[in-house]
Chains A and B, each alone.
Chain A
Amino acid sequence: MYDYVIFGGGVVGAAIFNKFVRLGAKVALLEKELDVATGASKANSGLVHAGFDAETGTLKAKLNVRGNELFEKLCQELGIKFKRTGALVVGNDEEKLKELLARGKKNGVKGLSIIREEKLWKLVPNLRHEYKSALYAKTAGLVSPYMLTIALAEEAVINGGQALFGFTTKKIEKAKGCFKIYSSDKRVVEGKVVINATGAGYNDIARLLKAEEREIRFRRGEYYVLDKCDFVNLTVFPLPTKLGKGILATPTASGNILLGPTAEDILEFDTATTMGGLENISGSITAMFDNVPFDKIIREYSGVRVSCGDDFVIEWDKKAERVVDICGINSPGLTSAPAIAEMVAEMVGLRGQEKKMIRRKGYAVKVKGEIVCRCEKVGKNEILSAINSPLKPCTVDGIKRRVRAGMGKCQGGYCLIDVCRLIARERGIKLEEVNKEHEGGAVMLSGGKYE
């Protein structure tokens, strides 16, 4: 019997999981996929926003600013990279920039200023000189969104939290102050209080909980990933519009460059990229920058933002007892995640000192072993260390997110098979049983005539 059961292993679920374990609770995290961070948490811009964008007084504004403050310490404790590189909103409409600055100050954001011409161009050498002014937000930063999620969940597991993967919830029974949760593969988990942090899957779980179902909208954002280069050294946004923060250029915490996202309303959850969307990015970026290294594009991806009204929804469910609803966590969801965890802990009455945590070790090894991923220079021993890490990842993409094998310019051309072989060996499964990311997504099939 768990005190708390969290549905959803995205960054929000993982942050709550981690916080609750730190506060000494008995917690389980249920994830239907084979790893954490396989939804929106792996496919966003990886930005820690300063907090000037959200409407003052909203949860988004409050949690963004608080979340941002928590990042340094949290990432240090988790042993992951966090870079406070700053961000710029460029545009010649000074009125709008001043509006953003004023809103930022109201939201409690520190380190905001408007910079012009030479100072701006020096910060962003590739910016077109038609752009003469920008709002500079010193406190914005970069984090790998999936590494943050993984590290939060790993630390929770090391310290006694339970994470269950491939857990597709089929049925939930309520009995005597507890929930009995059944998976399609006949696992049963019992908990006193449940937290629905499933993002796009919110209504599926709400229905089973007989909780409030909500109107959810999906907005797809497509991106280009560039090989490591110094095209921009900090995040550069255009002026925001009703559709969002616009198509930006940013470095990632690992040194790649992201161009995107588009903002396209879609009817169903769908992370496919489109030819039109990708052209859209090229157009917007070319309008803002010179010398765009399009020849360094190594990958495209898209993520889906889930919205439920304008603000985040974080509240006790109105229909079902002992259910916390978390819904519509789109941008600045990544930044807010640590603050959302604090808020939910407060809501459920988990207070007091955090217990002393055993820190995660990461995947570093003394001797790399032979190089498996040539582009990112990842050694065999590092891959083994990731395979045997606390969440016991078993997918190729799970390993890729942990140690970057397959993230370089050849995109796994050299290392895919070797990573599969190492996973198969360590897990004691057949080569054709290794999945890329999802159940049913085997990399290789059996049936060669001379197998």
Chain B
Amino acid sequence: MSSFYDVIVIGGGPSGMQAAIEAKKEGAKVLILECNDSLGGILNQCIHNGFGLRQFKEELTGPEFAYKQYSEVKKLKIPSVFGAYVTKIEGEKITALVRGKEKEYFSKAIVLATGARERTAGEIKLAGDRGAGIYTAGTAQKMINYYGKLSGKRVVILGSGDIGLIMARRMTLEGAKVLKILEIMPSSSGLRRNIRQCVEDFEIPLEFSHTVTRVVGRERVKGVYYAEVDENLKPKLETEKFLECDCLLLSVGLIPENTLLSEVEKNIKKQIIVNEFRQTSIKNLFISGNSLHIHDLADNASEEGAIAGRSAALFARGALEELGEEYEISFSSAISYTVPQRVSGCGSFKIFFRAKQNFLRKKIVVRCEGEEIASKFCVGITSGEMQEIEVESGKVKGPLTVSIE
């Protein structure tokens, strides 16, 4: 096996696998570098259902979804290197520690699909003791789903992100008592279906505008103090109460894992800028899935992987080089970000974005130099769910704006 490829995909989760599949279908010579011992990424610990409705038109568990992709990877004879931890990307060269030994790979195009990590107690400046029993929800999920161990028996969950909601149900089914879910915001960032199926169906109290003010327990968590917050999200200490528990799970957000890219491109700010091909400012580098921005569903991360993988294959054979001028996509104040942020408009493409708050009966409008080029009516837009709108081929002649009207 030579170390020269058309497309190397870093990360073998849902987005990476799909990128590899699409690149291969475009005729590229593809390799997947995966740091774990198997493909599937975080899907492997997501044993709940709810995956695949969009991509496979059937409801699957995480491992089933991964297996479907894996079967295709296998059918297409796409090779993978396991235990490969990429440390550096320089031009076409990728340096990886494979089981701790340094190896080099070369590829004309590279797709980064390294997923996300969970925001930690340190990042939210959680006050109090730092004993055992404080974990991110994903870590607790791995404990129970891989090793059958409980992170605690009386559990408080801080944050109502999807993993937190899923874990509320999961811990309950495993015999733990989930005492409360506390959410500092006035609404949940989780999917509506998760609130219904994981929280309401199990009668788990979910309190909005509340947060943990202090954790108690030097050896292991013994309880938490929590309080209501004011409009500036500051706890009102007069409302502080104590809740005895032995575990605090955090579901307070995911952060794209793109350290690799920020090491190549020092001036990357909070968000990575890509065009509709998921091509970064470094032309041979493509990025998709949660390492670019956080997706609600594995299906969406996979869909984005498909775009990046196909584009990377085109780039590798020189078919993506002459894109022409790229235009910026700006957005109204009701929107927090869009992907992509710039666009050439060579073909049709979708703009994905998140709204800052909830809206009822509104229209999403895309304009190019004042002229409406796409619009879509929505009965409900929630801040927790990713929105998308398609723009047809040939409509882009200048900078775009997206707004909710």
Contact = CB atoms under 8 A, between A and B. Distances in A.
Interface of A: 225, 271-275, 278, 297-301, 367-371, 374, 377, 379-381, 409-414, 416-417, 421, 431-432, 435-451
Interface of B: 35, 83, 85, 87, 97, 99-101, 117-118, 120-123, 125-133, 135-136, 138-139, 142-144, 146-153, 173-175, 213-216, 218-220, 235, 246
B253 to A, nearest CB: 12
Contacts of B138: 413
B148 A451 contact: yes
B250 to A, nearest CB: 10
Nearest to B135: A416
B148 A369 contact: no
A441 B85 contact: no
The 8 A-B residue pairs with the shortest CB-CB distance in the complex, in nearest-first order:
A368-B100, A441-B219, A451-B148, A436-B132, A444-B149, A299-B122, A371-B85, A440-B219
A414 B117 contact: yes
Given A371-B85, A417-B143, A437-B132, A442 B174 contact: no
24 contacts: A275-B125, A275-B214, A297-B122, A369-B99, A370-B35, A370-B83, A370-B85, A379-B97, A410-B118, A411-B121, A413-B136, A413-B139, A416-B135, A417-B139, A417-B146, A431-B147, A439-B219, A440-B219, A443-B132, A444-B143, A444-B149, A445-B151, A447-B150, A448-B148
B54 to A, nearest CB: 28
Given A370-B35, A417-B139, 14 more contacts: A272-B215, A273-B127, A273-B130, A275-B235, A367-B99, A409-B117, A440-B220, A443-B132, A444-B143, A444-B147, A445-B153, A445-B246, A449-B173, A451-B148
Which of A272, A278, A374 is most buried by chain B, counting CB atoms within 10 A of its CB? A272
Contact of B129 (A271, A298, A409, A411): A271
Nearest to B85: A371
Contacts of A417: 139, 142-143, 146-147
Given A272-B127, A417-B147, A445 B152 contact: yes
B127 A300 contact: yes
A432 B149 contact: yes
Contacts of A298: 120, 122-123
Contacts of A440: 219-220
A432 B132 CA distance: 12
Nearest to B121: A411
B144 to A, nearest CB: 5
Contact of B117 (A273, A413, A436, A448): A413
Contact of A367 (B100, B127, B235): B100
Contact of A377 (B87, B118, B175): B87
B127 A278 contact: yes
B146 A374 contact: no
Given A417-B146, A448-B174, A369 B139 contact: no
A133 B134 CA distance: 44
B329 to A, nearest CB: 25
B122 A441 contact: no
Which of B132, B153, B214 is most buried by chain A, counting CB atoms within 10 A of its CB? B132
Contacts of B144: 448
Which of A298, A410, A436, A440 is most buried by chain B, counting CB atoms within 10 A of its CB? A410
A401 to B, nearest CB: 14
A378 B246 CA distance: 30
Contacts of A444: 143, 147, 149-151
A301 B121 CA distance: 11
B98 to A, nearest CB: 8
A297 B121 CA distance: 10
A271 B215 CA distance: 12
Given A297-B123, A439-B219, A451-B148, A410 B117 contact: yes
A421 B220 CA distance: 19
Contacts of A410: 117-118, 120
A431 B149 contact: yes
